[in-house]
Amino acid sequence: MSAQAPQRLIELDSLRGIAALVVVLHHAWLSLSEQPSWLVWLFSDTPLRPIGMGRQAVIFFFVLSGYVLTLALLRQERKRPGSVLTVSGWAQYGLQRAIRLGIPVLAVVLFSAALQSMFWSGPLPDGTPHILAGAIWSDMWTWSDVVSQALLLRSGDGFQLNPVLWSLVHEWRIALLLPLVLLFRGRVALLLATALLGAAIARLAGMPEGQVALGQSLPGSLAASAGFLPAFAAGAALALRPGVKLDQTQAVAAGTAILVMVMAAHDYGVIAASALLILLAERGGPLARTLRQAGLLWLGKISFSLYLIHMPLMLALAHAFRGMLPDWAIAGLAIPLSLPLAFALHMLVEQPAHRLARRVPQPRRQASRRGAMEQA
């Protein structure tokens, strides 16, 4: 597959679904007040470490977003040359992204607010794991909270209705810059070097390596976003590269490297593992066949909704059954219940948002030019 003829790979949807499930399992793990030592070892010192850390899955999301969004921009540029890097083309792209992200985010923020109104009777008692009793649902929400969180305008621990929204702050900001990657066609090394300047900005702003979520202020959150530029740039570089297919020996080496680097605490190891995983999925073979299984494809289809909705559900169960069920039972309920709830969100909100985004009209100048060419 070359940059001139990018095609959608359904295997990547499955990988996204697996990553979303890892995040759910990670938050369920963090909700346990007592963690068995053998599980601590399993989630700390084996390739299952992403369940213990969670961050690896989010970094993979960022690399994959850079990849698939760049492929989409290349497709648009191929169909309508010059349409991406124009004010009108950029506005169309930005509006489509705002609809695709914003409507599901608004729905989930409102859903979390409704759940808190039904089940919240005050902060959870001391000793409750921080993932459930920190800043999340610590006070009753206000409409100001709903608006600012739905618009992704918070920093620090400000997403108390749904803490996973921190990653969408970075996703939204950096996605708006992605049309610029088309300027780096044939200059992928320069793209990666430029993105590394973002990591330097984050580091100079005092962001700890491999730990940044969201800064404590607007300038801090902008610096944190810059720190994630290498992840998106790595995905974009894969999309821009000339067609490359791993041979058998390279595939074995890549798979081995992934198993090692997925245990890394540092973002760069995870970025490299994510890029290799995308290359392996592109290659076909046993991994691709596994990822084409119906269950994994279904998980991939609901992955964004699953990522958004599982924490409000987990919070609601923790508050509804406080003192009645042990935390392991609440976590055990939250994991399977998240799946049908995510499917409902996908069908009722996410898919309609995608259909609405596709109805955003093409820039008038480009649409008229295409019509004139068809008439000619």
pLDDT at residue 83, as a whole number: 82
Residue 324 has pLDDT above 70, yes or no: yes
260: part of which helix (H) or strand (E)?
A: helix 248-261
**Residue 212's pLDDT band (cuts 50, 70, 90):** low
Q: 240 vs 3, 67, 127, 159, 184, CA distance in Å?
A: 5, 9, 49, 35, 8
The pLDDT of residue 365:
56
Residue with tokens 């290498």: 230
Residue 130 is predicted with a pLDDT of 83
- Distances in Å between the Cα of 237 and the Cα atoms of 83, 204, 276 are 20, 25, 12
* 3-class secondary-structure state, position 68: helix
pLDDT at 313: 97
Q: What is the pLDDT of residue 9?
A: 75
pTM summary value:
0.90
- The domain locations on the chain are 10-34+61-245+284-375
Burial 122-135, CB ≥16 within 10 A → b, else e: eebeeebbebbbee
Instruction: Please determine, for residue 157, whether its predicted confidence score (pLDDT) is greater than 60.
Output: yes
Dihedral sign of CA atoms 318, 321, 327, 333 in order: negative
Structure tokens at 299: 């998980």
DSSP secondary structure, 153-206, as one string: ---TT---S-TTHHHHHHHHHHHHHGGGGGGGTT-HHHHHHHHHHHHHHHHHTT
Query: Are 109 and 162 within 8 A, CB to CB?
Result: yes
Q: What is the pLDDT of residue 233?
A: 96
- Per-residue pLDDT band for 209 (boundaries 50, 70, 90) equals low
Q: So what's the pLDDT on residue 6?
A: 42
* pLDDT score, position 60: 95
pLDDT for residue 268 is more than 60: yes
Q: Measuring CA to CA, which residue among 291, 265, 264 is closest to residue 277?
A: 291
Which residue did the predictor score with more confidence, 182 or 217? 182
Contacts of 273 (CB under 8 A, 6+ apart): 56, 60, 257, 258, 261, 262, 264
The arithmetic mean of pLDDT across residues 162-171, rounded, is: 94
For the chain, what percent of residues have pLDDT higher than 70? 93
Per-residue tokens: 374? 């068809």
Cβ–Cβ < 8 Å for 270, 53: no
CB 67 within 8 A of CB 188: no
**What pLDDT shows up at residue 238?**
93
Tokens 């001391």 found at: 126
Q: Which residues contact 30 (CB under 8 A, 6 or more apart)?
A: 54, 129, 130, 131
Residue 273 has pLDDT above 60, yes or no: yes
Reported as a single tens digit per residue, the pLDDT across 232-264 is 999 999 999 867 788 888 888 988 888 888 887
pLDDT digits (tens, 9 = 90+) for 32-61: 988 999 999 999 888 899 999 888 999 999
3-class SS of residue 328: helix
Spatial CA neighbour of 313 closest among 289, 343, 287, 283: 343
